[in-house]
């Protein structure tokens, strides 16, 4: 038995922190999967039944971080945003006047005791506004690992120490103002990052805003406003015009036009009446309905959507493995390089001074008369600051956060990062027929059974969840011919039919033995079920389904991408080919069982093709798992979330195109982000070691690199 945990992690500042948290959790015996997202501060863990959240929490605390389930990710991100804003403002209030004084002092206008003023101001900035950075660096140190704050803290304190050394009379330039500027620029960067993260997480906040806090519960003809958490399964709630539907359920009285756009992406209101399902988060635009509650708590559709989107944002894509390997050794290597640059300039200053003079003609910030110690400290601090791996750590997570949010807004839930990367490489898309290519609104159009037999058949079919069974039951109920009777020995054979016993007679409902007997019906796209009693044919039931209006157009667009389209259905050859011909599907596999669908997927995979399986997520569970990407199509209360990688909350296959296009765009942005993050470090680190970068220029470059990654990821939102 597996358990899944989704929770927030506090104290992470870079990709190294992510690895530290993941490694700490992986050490627990029974943990199968760990994924931590820097952008959302969220972790997702799959573990054996013997692992509890307390075990995970203790492991993370041992690594120097904090795990909590107290707040949603977006609440923590908003809190961090406000904290970053306060620290940035305070730091600016101190640093800007200090910079002005420094400029005046360096211009030749002597300011008495400037070096002391510089020490007081820089101390306030480092140890007050930058205290969290220092604390994070210290926690990392005592837990025997490093992070971005390690580099920044060493760099800032090194620059600050030159201020003290200068006051003590040593022949060294004071970089106290530089220390304050390093901290301030870093705080500006964290403010901008947290603001952009906050914007990226707004789709989650939008989903949460759809949740109602209370429900109007009908109790003995009295309406009681009840907190959502107190509503029980089976209770009746009333939703009036303009109100949100608070919980998933079935309409038992009334009718209404319901706005589902914020949940499923469908722009037009949907008409619902008795026996129709409704989902939480949607809004009644017209009418009033009484709903019997069928799902509460975490099982409701809106809570499942929030959970799935958060899990998707916490997942990883395979391409991130390269960045993870690099960040594992990044900080120790940078520390070594910074020390090497210090030693090099301290012992070779006079030898390479002509080089600095020539370089100063190109880079005006280079100091050519600072002396060996000051130049060594200058290059040491610049190397530490320039190499902070912020951009590298944000490259993939920010793209995943943005794309997951965009997908959720379109009624498309992508459960994991691998699906985002894999969707662009799909060669074949297999479609189930009923409810995928067709509307799934099956209706009985004709039969030749008497009322007594029809009632027996309906009672047998009540034991099945197949759409055909539901169509028969609803038909008999609508005709007021349904009487509850006791059926025994019910047996459903997947892909074949169902049978049951009544009054010692065995009734079987299944596929026709000789389909040609019903040729006219099948060529109209109807499905025919034969009824036998004690193995003797006694009649048939004809069931009709209609094509979705956009099926042909979507199939055409998919084929324009060079993909093979195929239909896999349990229906007979004639009906399947009739439907396939109407929408120009390439290949048809008819009369197949759910197990046979898996074999068909394997056949394509053996040929070297990557397969996407699109089905209703119930009968197609095995096929959804077998394919590289499984797509479950269905309305909210019927979602099967365990089998699929992608869930379309409304039965619109046009979302498949959105998923493919989103995959291409997201992967493109991830590659761009990683490229610029790598290039930035490859160019900047050697320049800093050569003393060609001022620490302030280095900090500004690091800041711009991170902002570029976040901004580039945000452009995914412009996807049409």
Q: Which residues are catalytic?
A: 432
Q: Across-strand partners of 642?
A: none
HSE at residue 89, side-chain half, CA atoms within 13 A, is: 6
Tokens of 395: 């490259």
Contacts of 27 (CB under 8 A, 6+ apart): 59
Q: How far is Cα 634 from Cα 49, in angstroms, rounded to an integer?
A: 30
Question: Euclidean distance between the first and final Cα of the chain, in Å?
Answer: 41
Q: How far is Cα 89 from Cα 227, in angstroms, rounded to an integer?
A: 40
Q: How far is Cα 654 from Cα 648, in angstroms, rounded to an integer?
A: 10
Q: Across-strand partners of 588?
A: 567
3-state secondary structure 589-629: ECCCCHHHHHHHHHHHHHCCCCEEEEECCCCCHHHHHHCCE
Contact status, residue 532 vs residue 496, Cβ threshold 8 Å: no
Closest-CA residue to 373 (of 165, 164, 172, 167): 172
Contact status, residue 68 vs residue 24, Cβ threshold 8 Å: no
Phi and psi at 211, nearest 5°, equal -75, 130
Contact status, residue 66 vs residue 33, Cβ threshold 8 Å: no
Length of the chain in terms of residues written: 720
Tokens of 5: 């945990």
Contacts of 43 (CB under 8 A, 6+ apart): 5, 6, 7, 8, 9, 21, 25, 34, 35, 36, 37, 67, 314
Alpha-helical (H) ranges within 315-450 are 320-360, 372-386, 390-409, 417-422
Q: How far is Cα 101 from Cα 114, in angstroms, rounded to an integer?
A: 8
- 691 Cα distance to chain centroid: 42
Alpha-helical (H) ranges within 143-249 are 148-167, 176-200, 202-209
Contact status, residue 714 vs residue 197, Cβ threshold 8 Å: no
């Amino acid at each position: 038995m597996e358990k899944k945990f989704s929770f927030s992690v506090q104290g992470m500042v870079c990709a190294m922190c992510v690895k530290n948290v993941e490694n700490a959790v992986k050490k627990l015996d029974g943990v199968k999967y760990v994924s931590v997202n820097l952008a959302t501060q969220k972790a997702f863990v799959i573990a054996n039944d013997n692992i509890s959240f307390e075990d995970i929490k203790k492991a993370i605390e041992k690594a120097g971080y904090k795990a909590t389930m107290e707040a949603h990710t977006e609440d923590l991100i908003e809190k961090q945003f406000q904290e970053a804003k306060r620290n940035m403002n305070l730091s600016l209030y101190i640093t800007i006047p200090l910079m002005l004084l420094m400029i005046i002092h360096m211009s030749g206008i002597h300011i008495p005791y400037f070096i002391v003023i510089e020490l007081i101001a820089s101390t306030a900035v480092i140890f007050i506004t930058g205290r969290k950075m220092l604390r994070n660096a210290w926690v990392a140190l005592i837990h025997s690992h490093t992070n971005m704050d390690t580099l920044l803290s060493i760099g800032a304190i090194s620059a600050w120490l030159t201020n003290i050394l200068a006051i003590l009379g040593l022949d060294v330039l004071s970089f106290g103002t530089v220390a304050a500027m390093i901290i301030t620029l870093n705080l500006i960067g964290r403010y901008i990052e947290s603001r952009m993260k906050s914007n990226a997480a707004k789709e989650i906040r939008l989903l949460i805003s759809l949740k109602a806090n209370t429900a109007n519960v009908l109790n003995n003809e009295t309406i009681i406003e009840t907190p959502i958490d107190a509503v029980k399964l089976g209770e009746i709630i009333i939703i009036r015009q303009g109100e949100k539907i608070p919980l998933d359920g079935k309409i038992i009285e009334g009718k209404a036009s319901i706005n589902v756009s914020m949940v499923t992406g469908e722009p037009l209101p949907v008409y619902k009446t008795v026996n129709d399902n409704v989902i939480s988060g949607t809004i009644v635009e017209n009418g009033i309905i009484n709903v019997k509650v069928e799902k509460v708590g975490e099982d409701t559709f809106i809570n499942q959507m929030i959970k799935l989107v958060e899990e998707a944002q916490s997942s990883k894509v395979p391409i991130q493995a390269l960045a993870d390997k690099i960040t594992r050794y990044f900080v120790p290597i940078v520390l070594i390089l910074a020390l090497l640059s210090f030693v090099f300039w301290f012992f070779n200053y006079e030898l390479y001074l002509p080089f600095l003079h020539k370089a100063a003609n190109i880079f005006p910030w280079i100091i050519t008369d600072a002396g060996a110690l000051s130049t060594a400290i200058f290059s040491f601090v610049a190397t530490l600051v320039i190499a902070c791996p912020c951009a590298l750590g944000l490259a993939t997570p920010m793209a995943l956060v943005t794309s997951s949010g965009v997908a959720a807004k379109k009624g498309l839930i992508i459960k994991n990062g691998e699906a985002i990367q894999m969707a662009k490489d799909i060669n074949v898309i297999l479609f189930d027929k009923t409810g995928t290519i067709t509307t799934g609104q099956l209706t009985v159009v004709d039969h030749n059974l008497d009322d007594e037999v029809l009632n027996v058949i309906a009672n047998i079919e009540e034991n099945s969840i197949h759409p055909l069974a539901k169509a028969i039951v609803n038909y008999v109920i609508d005709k007021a011919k349904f009487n509850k009777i006791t059926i025994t020995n019910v047996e459903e054979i997947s892909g074949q039919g169902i049978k049951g016993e009544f009054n010692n007679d065995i009734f079987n409902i299944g596929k026709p033995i000789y389909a040609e007997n019903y040729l006219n019906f099948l060529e109209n796209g109807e499905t025919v079920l034969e009824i036998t009693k004690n193995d003797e044919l006694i009649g048939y039931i004809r069931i009709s389904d209609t094509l979705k209006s956009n099926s042909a157009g979507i199939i055409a667009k998919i084929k324009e991408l060079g993909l093979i389209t195929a239909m896999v259905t349990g229906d007979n050859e004639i009906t399947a080919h009739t439907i396939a011909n109407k929408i120009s599907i390439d290949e048809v596999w008819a009369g197949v069982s759910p197990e046979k669908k898996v074999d068909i997927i394997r056949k394509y995979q053996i040929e070297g093709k990557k397969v996407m399986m699109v089905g209703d997520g119930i009968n197609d569970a095995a096929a959804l798992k077998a394919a590289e990407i499984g797509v479950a199509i269905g309305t909210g209360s019927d979602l099967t979330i365990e089998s699929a990688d992608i869930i379309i909350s409304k039965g619109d296959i046009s979302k498949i195109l959105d998923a493919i296009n989103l995959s291409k765009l997201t992967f493109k942005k991830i590659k761009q982000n990683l490229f610029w993050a790598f290039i930035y470090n490859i160019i900047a680190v050697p320049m800093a070691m050569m003393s060609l970068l001022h620490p302030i220029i280095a900090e500004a470059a690091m800041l711009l690199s991170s902002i570029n990654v976040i901004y580039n990821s945000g452009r995914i939102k412009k996807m049409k």
